[in-house]
């Protein structure tokens, strides 16, 4: 079984040409250090999504081919340059250049055998990409299916895993009963443990310790029992919970299938998870919790995300925050930064105040500079009367302090 020190994590990469970004080196972690996650930030139009897709395309190639994408691109360019290839062949090579040439990736460990290690690790690896629009409709279930059929479907279409989550849960419930009937107590216990851990996880997410997950066999439905007797299905969740659970359930399902295939229920898979805007539909508290939840549940997966949220950017310690607008990187200090500081340094906001507050502050500074104390006092009083209701306690205190100084 592969060990963490042997897995080739993304250590750094060069953005060759991703429209808004060119010839930019992005460090993730230093050689010899434990792997870190990567959080891409930047102003709108800085190319976060384009870069995220470019990295994902290269990783998919590198985990499926005996040569890394850089060699594939170099070969394709050479073939195009000969001028002797038929048009359809040139188009094929050009597509490789366009898709794989946007970024050059460097993996941890010996670079000379990175391709070999990626190929070796693939059967034990998870690679997933989650789009910014993630609200998912979980498919209804009418019968039990063969687990081999479900696994085959997911192999052909990994993005369908979240929609098939209820089918997978139904299968596990039914198989759990069969295992008990056939005397396979160890396997039955594994299935029961899965549901126990899922229930605890949902209780944590919904901040309701007494949460209960109920299976109603008559209609193959799962109900989440919440506070005050409220009961919902996976398809009745809010957009925020649905967006988050689309990521969570997809990874849970794929990890559980891989553990079964490897016959190791404690195995934590290695791999790469790409998430575009993990904050989609989430209120601020969940924005701050989503990456800690995911990195705790899947400790060997490297998460690479693009975000507009300072809450996401400061939510975990073992991550590099890279600003595509400025080319600047932050390490663990990002976890100790305030939201306002990150908004100023990594999200293109000119200051930490609203436009209304900025206008009030400008007026305070203008009035304070007036040479006539009587005029200044009257204008401060007028400012309080006309716009006092828009002032925070701090701004109001500033105006009152100015008035006391004038007296």
Backbone angles phi, psi at 54, to 5 degrees: -60, -45
Whether the per-residue pLDDT at 356 is higher than 80: the answer is no
pTM for this predicted structure:
0.81
* 51-60, 203-212, 340-349, 391-400: which is most confident: 51-60
pLDDT at 347: 53
> In which residue are the tokens 């910014």 written?
132
pLDDT tier for residue 284 given thresholds of 50, 70 and 90? confident
Whether the per-residue pLDDT at 354 is higher than 90: the answer is no
pLDDT at 332: 65
359-382: average pLDDT: 88
342-349: average pLDDT: 52
Whether the per-residue pLDDT at 99 is higher than 90: the answer is yes
pLDDT one-digit tens code per residue, 299-321: 999 999 999 888 888 888 899 99
Whether the per-residue pLDDT at 53 is higher than 60: the answer is yes
Shortest CA distance to 58 belongs to which of 11, 13, 125? 13
pLDDT one-digit tens code per residue, 203-251: 988 889 999 999 998 888 899 999 888 999 888 888 778 888 888 888 9
CA dihedral 326, 324, 76, 129 (to 10 degrees): 170
Q: Are 370 and 379 in contact (CB under 8 A)?
A: yes
pLDDT at 400: 85
pLDDT tier for residue 353 given thresholds of 50, 70 and 90? low
43-51: average pLDDT: 87
Backbone angles phi, psi at 101, to 5 degrees: -85, -5
344-372: average pLDDT: 73
368-394: average pLDDT: 87
Whether the per-residue pLDDT at 22 is higher than 60: the answer is yes
Q: Are 145 and 173 in contact (CB under 8 A)?
A: no
CA–CA dist 330, 334 (Å, integer): 6
Secondary structure string (H, E, C) spanning the chain: CCCHHHCCCEEEEEEEEECCEEEEEEECCCCCCCCCEEEEECCCCCCHHHHHHHHHHHHHHHCCCCCCHHHHHHHHHHHHHHCCCCHHHHHHHHHHHHHHCCEEEEECCCHHHHHHHHHHHHHHEEEEEECCCCCCCCCCCCCCCCHHHHHHHHHHCHHHCCCCHHHHHHHHHHHHHHHHHCCCHHHHHHHHHHHHHHHHHHHHHCCCCCCEEEEECCCCEEEEECHHHCEECHHHCCHHHHHHHHHHHHHHHHHHHHHHHHCCCCCCCEEEEEEECCCCCCCHHHHHHHHHHHHHHCCCEEEEEECCCHHHHCCCCCEEEEECCCCEEECHHHHHCCHHHHHHHHCCCCCCCCHHHHHHHHHHHHHHCCCCHHHHHHHHHHHHHHHHHHCCHHHHHHHHHHHHHHC
Ramachandran bin of 389, using left for φ above 0, alpha for ψ from -120 to 50, beta for the remaining angles:
alpha
Q: pLDDT above 70 covers what percent of the chain?
A: 93
């Amino acid at each position: 079984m592969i060990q963490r020190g042997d897995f080739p994590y993304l250590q750094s990469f060069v953005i060759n040409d991703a429209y808004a970004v060119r010839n930019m080196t992005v460090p993730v972690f230093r050689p010899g250090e434990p792997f870190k996650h990567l959080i891409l930030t930047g102003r709108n139009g800085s190319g976060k999504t384009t870069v995220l897709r470019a990295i994902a395309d290269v990783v998919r190639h590198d985990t499926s081919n005996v040569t890394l994408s850089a060699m594939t691109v170099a070969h394709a360019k050479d073939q195009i340059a000969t001028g002797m290839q038929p048009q359809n062949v040139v188009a094929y090579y050009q597509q490789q250049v366009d898709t794989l040439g946007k970024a050059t990736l460097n993996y941890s460990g010996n670079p000379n055998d990175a391709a070999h290690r990626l190929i070796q690790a693939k059967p034990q690896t998870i690679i997933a990409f989650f789009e910014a629009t993630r609200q998912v409709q979980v498919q209804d279930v009418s019968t039990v299916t063969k687990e081999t059929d479900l696994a085959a479907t997911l192999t052909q279409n990994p993005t369908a895993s979240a929609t098939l989550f209820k089918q997978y849960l139904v299968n596990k419930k039914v198989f759990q009963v069969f295992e008990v009937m056939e005397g396979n107590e160890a396997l039955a216990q594994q299935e029961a443990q899965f549901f126990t851990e899922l229930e605890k996880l949902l209780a944590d997410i919904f901040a309701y310790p007494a949460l209960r997950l109920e299976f109603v066999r008559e209609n193959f439905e799962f109900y989440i029992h919440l506070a005050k007797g409220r009961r919902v299905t996976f398809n009745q969740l809010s957009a925020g919970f649905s967006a988050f659970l689309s990521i969570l359930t997809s990874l849970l399902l794929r990890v559980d299938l891989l553990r079964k295939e490897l016959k190791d229920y404690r195995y934590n898979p290695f791999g790469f998870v790409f998430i575009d805007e993990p904050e989609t539909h989430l209120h601020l508290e969940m924005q701050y919790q989503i990456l800690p939840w995911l990195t705790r549940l899947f400790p060997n997966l490297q998460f690479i995300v693009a975000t507009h949220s300072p809450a996401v950017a400061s939510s975990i310690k073992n991550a590099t925050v890279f600003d595509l607008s400025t080319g600047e990187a932050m390490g663990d200090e990002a976890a100790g930064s305030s939201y306002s500081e990150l908004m100023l340094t990594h999200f293109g906001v000119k200051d930490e105040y609203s436009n209304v507050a900025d206008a009030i502050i400008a007026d305070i500074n203008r009035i304070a500079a007036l040479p006539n104390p009587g005029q200044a006092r009257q204008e401060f009083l007028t400012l309080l009367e006309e716009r006092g209701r828009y002032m925070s306690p701090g701004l109001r205190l500033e105006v009152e302090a100015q008035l006391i100084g004038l007296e």
